[in-house]
Amino acid sequence: MAARQVTARWTGGNRTRLAPQSVRSSDVAKASSESVAPQVARGFWRKYVFSTDHQIIGRQYYFLALFAALVAMFLSWLMRVHLAWPRLAIPGLSALSASGAPAGLMTPEYYLSLLTVHGTLMIFFVLTTAPQAGFGNCLLPAQLGAERMAFPRLNMLSFWLTFTSLGVLLASFLVRGGPAISGWTAYPPLSALGSITGPGEGLGQSLWIISIALFCVASLLGALNFITTTLDLRAPGMTLMRMPLTAWAWFVTAILMLLSFAVLLAACVLLMLDRVAGTSFFVPSGLIVSGQMIHGHAGGSPLLWEHLFWFFGHPEVYIAILPAMGVTSHLLSCFARKPVFGYRAMVWATIAIGFLGFLVWGHHMFVSGMNPYSAFAFAVLTVIIAVPSAVKTFNWLGTLWGGRLRLTTAMLFALGFVSIFVSGGLSGIFLAEPPVDVQLHATYFVVAHFHLVMGMAAMFGIFSGTYFWFPKMFGRMMNETLGKIHFILTFVGAYCVFMPMYFLGMAGNVRRYAQFVDPYLQPLMPLQRFITVAALGLGAAQFLFIFNLFWSLFGGKKAGENPWQATTLEWATPGAARAVYRGPYEYAVAGQEQDFVMQNAPDAGPSRARKEAADDNADQISNA
Amino acid sequence: MTTQTKFPTLEERGFGDGGNGGEGSAGRSAGGNGTALSVGPTGIWIAMASITMFFAAFTSAMVVRAGLGADWTRVALPRILYLNTAMLLASSVTLELSGRSLRAAREGPFFGWLMATAALGVAFLAGQLDAWRELAARGVYLATNPACSFFYLLTAAHGAHLAGGLLALFYLVARHRRIARGASGQTILKVTTLYWHFMDILWLYLFLMLALWV
Ligand code: HEM
Ligand SMILES: [Cu+2]
């Protein structure tokens, strides 16, 4: 009887058809014992360094991102201090670069180097790496009930390419001229002409391009792995519409990565050729740089780079945020002890965001002199993308409504995500209007927008994911008291640092300037100093997190199997049959002893899946 | 080909031959269960989507760049490209014939057609190099003008991707006995065939774009 019901569900939406006998627990036991045996035999290097085990690789990515975040945060401190007190020498800075910071006072060019590395580290090595490759590797297979990722060796290759890519980027601190100064967007002609355009534009810029190209390849391989795993290796019964929203987010993000990083890779090839092979894809005629006429290049267009870059760049911002959205949905449901409000709408909103994300890149180029009709089209599409984002926000609120909230640290960060995402997202609607954007483009208004909606929001996603999955990843709990202090300081700090930037932007404060010396900016300087102080505090608060993380690794309370009483498979008993009988968020199901039912719980209760299966049976009986 | 297996176990789903190298997990997916659920073919379709985007970026850049200004000077394409195209098309046919012979359990023709495919692939690459040589002899280099920049760029990028397929073909040639015995490598053959046909279609597209714009 039970077996028949199960079969009925399996043949539903899943493209692979399975018979009930395929999930005999003996098979599973055999499978897991086989996977364990070769592991033990391997040496330390194969097991922890050049590992093909997605669990290890996920942690490697996570710690790589953590390292990158610390470096990038340190750079942001240097920049903020310089902006607030432009004449203050920073002791020891000349040790980092004698020419970039003579006597500890950074040159405007060196400021731009720090800016470039800060942005590149944060966007690529933190926000693209931790939520997707880090958490995804640790949890996607577990949540789908897969034994492993589809291509373990490619997975290892992806990580080590990412690692190399990070090394190449950081190596630019050591070369003559220092790191590139053209920002994370690397606009030509500045980035295409070599050291004539400034220190850092020689070898530094070349290293930047090589680093990003490597990162592209690593991301493409990673995306390939994620998509294949999701399509092919789901456990019996895990239909697409039963996947946790985290898994959906990783899946759609991987598709975005697959399609957009390929374009960035192509753009990097073209830029590199302009630099080293004398081609003119992006370099226009008649350029005069640093008082010198540029010869040997003609006829190219920097706008071509901008189109290619932003065709990647806009999907990239969703690559950074979608996994955090997934984590938020997952956690709000778990800690409100309620099913996700509008699961299907959430899935479709994720897909819609992914799709529309490819059609709006022009909104980064409103001031590029584009045809007003194209600007209009891009503006309309951009505003449309706010709709699925709003759907998500309302569904989060709907999930919370009437829930019995458990305010764990993980939950607090998820709630914080919603707040910060909205505070940053709403300003996007302003920027989406070309006439308004002409005023606000390249001001701190944009800086506020993207640091809140992407930077801080995705960081909140990373934090909530860490507090939530730490027991799963490391077997121990993180300290809740420290966690809550960390949350309050981070939440308040984030608002103090980034909200005032909206006002700076509206007052005309330009971005990417090393010093604000113009008279009209002087009245804003007190606000600048406030931001710097808040930024130092926000950064310092992160050491609480780091301390908590490493202390809990060894001294945290031992975690039980399912400490949050969650429903999804990552919390299933290891080695238990990984067959799935129901949707991912069955909290507070009527008529159950516990207030949650795990996805792999076959026994009963009037869950939707069971009801459908029962209906199927009833049909069969009445047909007979 | 693999329809005899309707009920693969969880174990095979988890451990199916990933097609990324083949060894290691091959033993597990053997035993008459086939690789119907193998991740290899799925993976190659996804990879092809990404490669398509890569070349779409290049070719759209070419169309935009061509429209930019007076410095776009067209180049007469080397005639050997037609021969190369014919060889590449023929190689897809021979690879198909090779697969058919394998399914008909005829080991000799299977190996023969496989060798022919690899040989045609090598000849194609050599022919592309010859096209470059001819252009260089005419004094047309990578940076001479934007049109020929794109000619070198697109042929090089396609050649690099094709070389990857060629490596897979060499691997198949080296292991043809085991494949013919049905021991392993079926997935790699399937995946390589898909990829090779894709390289073929991609070249037709690029050749068309070059003919129209360069
Ligand atoms: C509500 C939907 C959104 C709208 C309508 C919107 C609109 C815009 C517009 C028009 C700009 C260009 C501003 C300028 O440079 O003048 C912009 C910049 C930006 N947006 Fe959004 N945005 C939205 C949501 C998001 C989200 C969800 C993210 C990230 C997760 C994001 C990340 C960014 C970034 C990183 C930039 C600046 C890139 C740079 O110039 O360095 N935006 N946004
Ligand atoms: Cu955008």
What are the sequence ranges of the domains in chain B? 24-213
∠ CA A377-A367-A186, rounded to 5°: 110
Length of chain A, in residues: 624
Torsion sign across C-alpha atoms A373, A375, A380, A385: positive
pLDDT at residue B49 in the model: 98
Mean pLDDT score, B136-157: 95
Q: What gap in Å lies between CA A520 and CA A443, rounded to an integer?
A: 14
Within chain A, which residues score under 50 in pLDDT?
1-39, 605-607, 609-611, 613-624
pLDDT at residue B71 in the model: 86
Mean pLDDT score, B47-64: 97
Between 3.30.450.40, 3.20.20.370, 1.10.260.40, 1.20.210.10, what CATH number should domain A50-279 receive? 1.20.210.10
State the Cα torsion A297-A298-A303-A304 to the nearest 10°.
-80
- CA proximity to A316, closest of A146, A124, A547, A30: A124
- For residue A548, give the H/E element and its range: helix A525-555
CB A147 within 8 A of CB A141: yes
Please, where in chain A does CATH 1.20.210.10 lie? Answer: 50-279
Query: Which spans in A42-53 are helix H?
Result: 44
Q: Which two tokens stand for residue A452?
A: 């809140």
pLDDT at residue A151 in the model: 94
**Residue A575 or B68, more confident:** B68
Per-residue confidence at B185, pLDDT binned at 50, 70, 90? Answer: confident
Per-residue confidence at B183, pLDDT binned at 50, 70, 90? Answer: low
| Rg, chain A, Cα only | 26
The residue of chain B with its CA nearest to that of A280 is B146
Residue A289, Cβ neighbours under 10 Å: how many?
A: 15
Beta strands A288-289 and A292-293 are antiparallel
Res B77 pLDDT > 50: yes
Query: Using CA positions, which residue lies closest to atom 36 of ligand 1?
Result: A450
Q: What gap in Å lies between CA B141 and CA B148, rounded to an integer?
A: 7
Tally of CA atoms within 13 A in the half-sphere of A118 that contains its CB: 17
- CA proximity to A341, closest of A299, A431, A415, A402: A402
- For residue A221, give the H/E element and its range: helix A203-232
pLDDT at residue A495 in the model: 98
Q: Which of A310, A385, A450, A459 to mutate to test the pocket of ligand 1 (most atoms within 8 A of CB)?
A: A450
The residue of chain A with its CA nearest to that of B58 is A266
- Residues A430-478 pLDDT 10s: 999 999 999 999 999 999 999 999 999 999 999 999 999 999 999 999 9
ipTM over 0.85? The verdict is yes
pLDDT at residue A620 in the model: 43
CB within 8 Å: A299 and B71: yes
Atom of ligand 1 nearest to the CA of A389: 1
Residue A303's φ and ψ, nearest 5 degrees, are -65, -30
- CA proximity to A144, closest of A58, A238, A226, A227: A238
- Number of the ligand closest to the Cα of A360: 2
Angle between helices A457-474 and A135-144 (to 10 degrees): 60
User: For residue A229, how far is the Cα from the chain centroid?
Assistant: 19
- Residues A576-607 pLDDT 10s: 767 899 999 999 887 777 889 999 988 654 44
Substitution target in A35, A154, A263, A273 with the highest count of B β-carbons within 10 Å is: A263
State the residue for tokens 């009963």.
A604
State the Cα torsion A350-A351-A352-A355 to the nearest 10°.
130
- Amino acid, single-letter form, for residue A25: S
Res B24 pLDDT > 50: no
Q: What gap in Å lies between CA B106 and CA B114, rounded to an integer?
A: 12
pLDDT at residue B31 in the model: 24
Res B11 pLDDT > 70: no
What pTM was estimated for this model as a whole? 0.89
User: For residue A187, how far is the Cα from the chain centroid?
Assistant: 23
Mean pLDDT score, B82-99: 97
Q: Which two tokens stand for residue B77?
A: 């394409």
Q: Which two tokens stand for residue A33?
A: 């014992």
CB A461 within 8 A of CB A328: yes
CB B53 within 8 A of CB A263: yes
- Residues B101-112 pLDDT 10s: 999 989 999 999
Q: Any idea which architecture B24-213 has in CATH?
A: Up-down Bundle (1.20)
Q: What gap in Å lies between CA A396 and CA A96, rounded to an integer?
A: 45
Closest approach of B107 to chain A, Cα-based (Å): 30
Distances (CA, A) of A70 to A124, A213, A354, A542: 14, 23, 29, 9
Q: What gap in Å lies between CA A510 and CA B7, rounded to an integer?
A: 64
